[in-house]
């Protein structure tokens, strides 16, 4: 049985509003929930912060924390040059295109409003050689890999109603790490981070690793969970397991070694981070060594 917080709720349409753009990046929220939200964490800001801007108009005391290692000075230089060239090639000047050329100014002004909200960015420039890679335990499968899970259940002809272990594990809510990560940011203890979703450890970590550096991961140190051990027993090879599931690592932190002891105090015992690797020099951004113990 799902926790009450996750059960469907009937909501009147008149209490729903859309914030942000009409396309991807905009979201429908419940009016009554706005006053209860104190923090927003944005992963993948890119060049659109309209949702955050409109949200802050509704709740000006809310704290916004934005992450996107791709949004740097090089990003804005190329963005501005591209839009400026497009503007010159247009037969008719359009207000929207003119605004796009000066979007960087709007970006800087928005993220300078520290009297209204706090915004800190972590990214590639903060990650250094010899930093540690920490794993925060997952609560289970989280929200990725259920197509493969269903395939296994179908092939094994398993009825979840008759299997208390699988029913409990597969309906276990996803652990959300927002508050812990915000605490680390507020205390300047975090150089980089990666949410381990589809693509597993390798695909998600490499997105935050700078050129010429490598996240050297020791899979022998990964503390997997019973549900993944059960899945592995159903003819799924290691490569597929690591690509599809979090395998027990729900979130990764990249930190300075001297901050290791300070970091653990922000986590409960169940989700205490532990070292699974470090940052070294190289070309491939992620290197997986060893093997997870599935026994």
- Residue 54: is its pLDDT beyond 60? yes
Given this model, what pLDDT does residue 71 score?
67
Predicted pLDDT at 275 = 98
Q: Can you give the residue range of the structural domain that contains 82?
A: 1-121
Candidates 9, 27, 30, 8; CA nearest to 18 is: 27
Question: Is residue 89 predicted with pLDDT exceeding 90?
Answer: no
As a whole number of angstroms, the distance between CA 151 and CA 140 comes to 18
Domain count, the chain: 2
3-state SS class at 63: strand
Same domain, yes or no: 153 and 284: yes
Q: What is the mean pLDDT of residues 26-48?
A: 76
Both 48 and 103 in a single domain? yes
196 exposed, middle or buried (CB, 10 Å; 0-12, 13-18, 19+)?
buried
Same-domain status, 109 and 156: no
Which residues make Cβ contacts (< 8 Å) with residue 260, sequence separation at least 6? Answer: 132, 134, 275
138 and 187 belong to one structural domain: yes
pLDDT score, position 4: 54
């Amino acid at each position: 049985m799902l926790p009450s917080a996750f059960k469907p709720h009937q909501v009147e349409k008149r209490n729903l509003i859309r914030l942000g753009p009409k396309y991807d990046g905009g979201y429908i929220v419940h009016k009554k929930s706005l006053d209860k939200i104190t923090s927003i964490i944005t992963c993948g800001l890119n060049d659109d912060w309209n949702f955050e801007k409109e949200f802050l108009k509704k709740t000006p005391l809310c704290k916004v924390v934005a992450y996107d290692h791709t949004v740097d000075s090089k990003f804005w230089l190329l963005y501005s040059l591209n839009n400026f060239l497009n503007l010159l090639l247009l037969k008719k000047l359009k207000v929207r295109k003119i605004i796009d050329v000066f979007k960087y100014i709007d970006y800087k002004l928005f993220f300078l409003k520290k009297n209204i909200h706090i915004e800190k960015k972590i990214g590639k420039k903060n990650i250094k050689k010899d930093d540690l890679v920490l794993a925060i335990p997952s609560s289970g499968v989280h929200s990725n890999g259920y197509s493969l899970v269903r395939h296994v259940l179908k092939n094994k002809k398993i009825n979840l109603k008759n299997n208390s272990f699988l029913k409990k594990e597969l309906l276990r809510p996803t652990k959300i790490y927002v508050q812990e990560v915000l605490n680390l940011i507020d205390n300047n203890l975090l150089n980089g981070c990666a949410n381990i979703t589809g693509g597993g450890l390798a695909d998600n970590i490499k997105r935050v690793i700078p050129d010429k550096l490598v996240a050297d991961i020791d899979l022998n140190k990964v503390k997997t969970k019973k549900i993944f051990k059960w899945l592995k027993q159903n003819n799924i090879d290691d490569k597929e397991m690591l690509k599809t599931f979090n395998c027990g690592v729900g979130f990764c932190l990249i930190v300075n070694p001297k901050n290791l002891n300070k970091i653990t105090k922000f986590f409960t015992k169940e989700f205490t981070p532990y070292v699974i690797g470090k940052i070294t020099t190289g070309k491939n951004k992620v290197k997986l060594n060893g093997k997870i113990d599935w026994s």
